[in-house]
Amino acid sequence: AQLASHASAWDGPAEDLPKAIRACTRCPLHCHATQAVPGDGPTDAALMVVGEQPGDMEDLSGRPFVGPAGQMFDGIAATAGLNREAAYVTNAVKHFKFKPRGKRRIHQRPETSEIEHCRWWLHAEIAKVRPSLILAMGATAAQSLTGNGARLLSRRGSIETGPEGRPVLITLHPSYLLRAPDQARRERAKAQFRQDLVMAAELIA
Ligand code: URA
């Protein structure tokens, strides 16, 4: 019953959740990824941080946000008064989706159906952690958590309603801070991201 795709919620014991996520075959993404990456952090965290999906380094290590996007997040969080170690950090999609190009694996954006299959696990994590605030980083997390797929730049810095009626603070994805097309946009994105993290820190204080 745990993996039946039409059941409304995962009903196993909370401590078995990471193991169940690692065993997931609910969508085809598990075929090529090294492993699923469950959330990480205290299970009584006030803040849950949600990204898109594991990247190359997360896929290899099995832990969320350990690569370049994670370093960007950690660096700005530290200056915003937000302690990453106190947060539960996870992703909307638990497997890395990529296209091989030579020796490299190029990130591919997850499809709506993949986001929807994996929402089952995100909801189970939310039910386990019961965070008082969820930080949605990027469009995939925002879509999964709020059902709203509208453009992110006009929504960031605002609070929307997520699963179980929990508040979801919308912000940019830290990769965007690295990849925005020009220096001016990268700098502006960093300032906006930092402002959102300050707001998150104040909301959970
Ligand atoms: N980007 C994400 O969205 N999540 C990670 O875990 C790493 C990079």
Tens of pLDDT, residue by residue over 164-177, are 999 999 999 999 99
Length of the chain: 205
The dihedral built from the CA positions of residue 96, 138, 106 and 191, taken in this order, carries a sign that is negative
Atom of ligand 1 nearest to the CA of 51: 3
120 phi and psi angles, rounded to 5 deg: -50, -45
Per-residue pLDDT at 9:
77
Per-residue pLDDT at 10:
85
- How far CA 48 is from CA of 30, 36, 77, 98, in Å, comes to 24, 18, 13, 25
- Mutational test site, ligand 1, from 143, 145, 175, max ligand atoms within 8 Å of CB: 175
- Residues 6 or more apart whose CB falls under 8 angstroms from that of 185 comprise none
- Mutational test site, ligand 1, from 37, 49, 65, max ligand atoms within 8 Å of CB: 65
Q: Which two tokens stand for residue 153?
A: 């730049």
Q: Is 38 in the pocket of ligand 1 (CB under 6 A)?
A: no
Per-residue pLDDT at 1:
38
Per-residue pLDDT at 2:
44
Per-residue pLDDT at 11:
87
Q: Which two tokens stand for residue 42?
A: 């205290």
Per-residue pLDDT at 7:
58
Residue 59's H or E segment, with its range, is: helix 56-61
Q: Which residues of the chain have pLDDT under 70?
A: 1-8
pTM for the complete prediction? 0.95
